[in-house]
Structure 1
């Protein structure tokens, strides 16, 4: 059983290419975003399970003695596989793994995750046969509700930490090592539990978000099948949140209606987006083995073409057009990521770009009322950190530990 502090992190995600086309059977490329969610799990002796979400000012606590075990046989039935790279069918058996319910109060189960907003009042602390007294603190660099996989990052962190605490998977961190990752088999188990949390939050998720948070790098998704790109370079980007709310359901329906109304026009657009995803996948593979400046020029062309296609599909927005104009004025290339209609966009940063130009672009975007982060894509997946490795980051960034 847990005897020391565990510190876990996992990344968010962005769609690089293929949004909306993926709904119609085409390929989408999802990449790990190096804005991360962090979780600290600490043993206690006060007989309580505490959950602290300092980003949003939420703290809850439950008496361990009031928690009751529930059956989790649904995990054995195979009705809800956890999509992931290869999607292997031979997940280890979880027959003795239990979930827990607070009576009265919110359900607690490993993989019954709440999203960072806790709007479901769910969290997931139950891989153990007997729940120990724990203090769980979660904070995130990801803005919630922006289509960046914040709920999946939460679910993956919690699944990884609790499975490790309950010794269902080993702690991968060795002495004198600051950061480490789990074996492929253990990642499959983490992903399976995290997918259950995403199901609670979203009902019928694709499994892409939790897979990206688990494995990191870049994933290829098509018609329910997920596979990892073998070699993925870490690309620097600006991530911009226009803060314009949008309805993913309405945007998806709009593309479908346009396809029905103009099939001979829209179907070639979707096919072209699919070709953009394929070309990007090819270029990323080349960059990982033999990077060259001209490859960034190709990626910029693909970004521009995809953005025009997405506008033609009807999922653009004036705020996204403004984002593209501002970055183009600084010689940069941007596209929406996710559902569109507002939301977030990404801007590729070439390695030879001078930092003062990046700062000028960020200031211009901030002047539009947007939030902007300089970060990278292709980041590593869920990771365990030494207790001291992120202390300065945490204290400086959030001041919560």
Structure 2
């Protein structure tokens, strides 16, 4: 679902603002690896991209600025170097005449990646030592070249900034949200500039009559491109994060199957608790696999129970979303969701993927008769607590204050809101 707010495209330079949500897994962490159900929803916390063409300055007429404050990136590039990158043929797996940016599946992913990394080494001056900073810049230029390199456009000096409410690398879909905002911007840029394909590429058809939101086919394209970026960040992504950050709402998924989107029409609220403890996803997943090898029957029983929990929890959320029944029924669904959250967190503890700080956060919530659980890989990162409309606002405020006083970073946010939007 996209915003209906008209984009700001002032003269003489183009200015574009795009945003996309993060996400949380509600149920199915780790069990999804073993073909069990998992589902996730978009967050009210978002990544925001601001792009503006700027007037040349006498001493900096050929310099563009790219800034990602969330990971302390501020790099300056020669505009001519970027133009030279866009002038190079984009590596594709078929004839160039069969490619334009609406067909990301035709890209030669590895060759594009190699070329972008070479560009980074030769043109960036000094490469960032931090791997997250480096990957973010590589992902940006990967998307920038693969899309804009196929169209005729006169690139002007610009400044681009991407800010985020999300903590990077904590399991809330920050990399997918980052990618979705970039692709959304690039598509909007092509539409605003009324770009046409270069002569060596297949003609494109993009809508230039409605610049206030993205249609269904454009959202599908944004999600596909964000998936390409996720391959840079995560190797073999599931496709869930780019889907939910593009469309918003709720997504259910099983390994090997396409994610299934559920549009959410009812407002859900969530307390999101950052433990500020870093975690190692690969290590945690490997440990679960080792435990399963050692205790196959016990572990399979736990995983099967987690699947049943996810199925029942999803059913409850769908019933609330469809406003099925009266207030008593809704209250009962929320109570069931609370019980299921308790069950799931304790089963995840049995898998060995919790952390003392996660358990502490859940206990603080439990002391106020609220129900928390870890989300994502565990071992740190975030805990979540679904809050029903019947919970006293003072209780929510007090528990957030208590969590923050104990060194956590807790916020109340919406769940299942809109996907990528032009702001």
The corresponding residue for 2:226 is: 194
- Counterpart of 1:228 (choices 241, 258, 261) is 261
The corresponding residue for 2:120 is: 105
Q: C-alpha distance in 1, partners of 2:208/2:223?
A: 16
Q: Which moved more, 1:47-56 or 1:156-165?
A: 47-56
Higher helix share: 2
- Counterpart of 2:214 (choices 182, 185, 202) is 182
- Counterpart of 1:164 (choices 163, 166, 188) is 188
Cα displacement (A) at 1:301: 1.4
Equivalent position SS for 1:319? helix
Cα displacement (A) at 1:310: 0.8
- Counterpart of 2:178 (choices 139, 154, 159) is 154
How many equivalent pairs are there? 360
The corresponding residue for 1:366 is: 404
Note the aligned Cα RMSD (angstroms). Answer: 2.8
The corresponding residue for 1:268 is: 301
Task: Check 1:44–1:368 CA distance in 2 against 1; reply closer, same or farther (3 A cut).
Answer: same
Contact 2:25 2:40 in 1 (8 A): yes
Q: C-alpha distance in 1, partners of 2:419/2:222?
A: 11
- Counterpart of 2:420 (choices 379, 382, 397) is 382
Contact 1:310 1:316 in 2 (8 A): yes
Cα displacement (A) at 1:119: 3.1
- Counterpart of 1:62 (choices 56, 77, 96) is 77
Cα displacement (A) at 1:53: 2.1
Cα displacement (A) at 1:307: 0.9
- Counterpart of 1:51 (choices 66, 69, 76) is 66
Contact 1:231 1:284 in 2 (8 A): no
Q: C-alpha distance in 1, partners of 2:71/2:280?
A: 23
The corresponding residue for 1:143 is: 167
TM-score by length of 1: 0.82
Cα displacement (A) at 1:190: 0.8
The corresponding residue for 2:345 is: 307
Which runs of 5 or more structure 2 residues have no equivalent in the other structure? 1-8, 57-61, 96-100, 124-129, 192-203, 325-329
Task: Check 1:244–1:54 CA distance in 2 against 1; reply closer, same or farther (3 A cut).
Answer: closer
The corresponding residue for 1:281 is: 314
Contact 2:244 2:419 in 1 (8 A): yes
Task: Check 1:70–1:284 CA distance in 2 against 1; reply closer, same or farther (3 A cut).
Answer: farther
> Do residues 339 (structure 1) and 377 (structure 2) align?
yes
**Larger of the two Rg values belongs to structure:** 2
Task: Check 1:209–1:266 CA distance in 2 against 1; reply closer, same or farther (3 A cut).
Answer: same
TM-score by length of 2: 0.78
Q: Which moved more, 1:51-60 or 1:260-269?
A: 51-60
